Amino acid sequence: MSPDERPRERLIEKGAPALSNAELLAIIMRTGTGSRNVLEIANELLQSVEYSLVRLSAESIEFMMEIKGVGLEKASTIAAAFEIGRRFALEKARTDGQAITGAEMIYNMMIPILKGLDHEECWVIYLNRANYVIGKEKIGSGGMEAITFDNDAILLHALQKRARGIIMVHNHPSGNPRPGKADIEETETLRTALRKVRKNLVDHVIISDDKYFSFADSVVTPVPDVKKFLG
């Protein structure tokens, strides 16, 4: 059996969860070159991003093609595989028509969107009287440590959607989800503005890749099994 065939054989015998990231990547790329087998190419590609699938998923086709043995076809196939995985995770995490029961559910809903970003994004989830999700949207973005959003726009959209409550969600690319002074001040400003129009700020959840902070719970919660939310 050639080295190129071994990852596929292991997948058939052991199942996909038993394979390493390099073996799965090798199956996606299918074949090696005359001088290098596909597993060697897969390992070098992973090494170029310090073995991080999150980083690899964010890289361009041109970046992947810098690795010897990775041509346009292989790089395009890898990019397509990551996009399918991302869309699957988003579909799996949809909670429209479900009642929000806590911060963990919010994390599960938003981590496929916010994981691995190198900038902050702020999202709003709109809820009806029974805390069922009736919509969500991105309302702001910023750099590594700052974010801007328009409270008036949030109020307007909440009124248009006839939402009774909202949840604000944003990420901290630094990996530390604890709120800073600006986070606390902005949360209180939004809470006050919502009360004036008889709306409720149900929670503000700050997300990092493997943990989250909930203003409602006032605690940081680690999520050791984060991979399950990404399919």
Q: Domain with 155 in it: what CATH number?
A: 3.40.140.10
What confidence score (pLDDT) does residue 29 get? Answer: 96
Same domain, yes or no: 159 and 114? yes
Task: Give the whole-angstrom CA distance, residue 1 versus residue 3.
Answer: 7
Its pTM stands at 0.66
Q: In sequence order, what are the residues at sequence separation of 6 or more whose Cβ sits closer than 8 angstroms to the Cβ of residue 224?
A: 210
CB contact at 8 A, 207 and 216: no
pLDDT tens readout for residues 181-199: 888 988 999 999 999 999 9
Same domain, yes or no: 108 and 46? no
CA angle 167, 168, 174 (to 5 degrees): 140
Last residue of a domain, one of 91, 124, 141: 91
- Give the range of the structural domain holding residue 38, as residue numbers without chain letter: 6-91
Provide the 8-state DSSP code for 149: E
1, part of any domain = no
Number of domains in the chain: 2
Q: Which residues, given as ranges, of the chain have pLDDT below 50?
A: 224-231
CB contact at 8 A, 153 and 139: yes
